[in-house]
Each structure stands twice: as C-alpha cells, then as structure tokens.
Amino acid sequence: MQKSTRKSADNKQLIRVELLIETSSPQEAQALLSAIRPDDETAPSWLTIREEQDGQYIRIVVEAKDTRRLGSVRNTVDEILEFLYSLLKSIEETAKTLKQAD
C-alpha cells in the first residue's frame, strides 16, 4: 500500500492511497469489483474512489481533496480492506464447499 501527499493541479494538497490486490483469477477480481462498486456511490464529495481491473489484479485508488481528512481516508481504506478480506474468505469457503460436494 502506497500513501502519498502531492500537489494537485490547483496547488492544493491531495491525499492519495493506492491498493493493488492480486486475486486467484480474473473472475474473482471481477466479482470483488462488482461487490464494492455500489458502496463507492455513497462517498462524500471530497473523497474519490476509483477501481480498475487488470486480469487477476485490482487497483483501488482513494483520494481526498483535503489533507485534514487523513483520518477519514485511513478509515475508508481500512473498511475497503476489511470488506475485501471478508469477500475473499467467503469465496474460499464457497469453493471448498463446492469441491467437497463433488
């Protein structure tokens, strides 16, 4: 996880956190992205969350236009990671159950 503060085009400070997550397959990556996108729609106006998929990799970028929001950005990233962890554990358990059923 990379955290940085840099100047944006209008010379204001910007907080940016970029997550790169490797999944076991492109299908798993797509399932994770589909699950987290609806939550992004409720983000406040000062916060931007972008995701993209590249094969089995997911890149999530969280940016805040206000450096005073560092704690909120950290909480948002923590929530994203917790949610992804829970989803991955659910996928693993489902795969185990399906294998046992065969």
Splitting the chain (102 residues) into consecutive groups of 10 residues, what average pLDDT does each group show?
A: 52 86 91 78 85 95 92 93 90 86 76
| pTM for the model | 0.76
Q: What does the pLDDT read at residue 6?
A: 54
User: Cα separation of 79 and 85, whole Å?
Assistant: 10
Task: Report the SS3 class of residue 11.
Answer: coil
Please identify, in words, the CATH class of the domain defined by 2-101. Answer: alpha beta
Q: What does the pLDDT read at residue 91?
A: 84
Longest dimension (CA), the chain: 59
Q: What does the pLDDT read at residue 99?
A: 85
Report the DSSP beta bridge partners of residue 29.
none
CA quadruple 86, 91, 95, 97: dihedral positive or negative?
positive
> Residue 62 corresponds to which amino acid?
V
Q: What does the pLDDT read at residue 53?
A: 95
Q: Where are the domains of the chain?
A: 2-101
> Residue 25 corresponds to which amino acid?
S
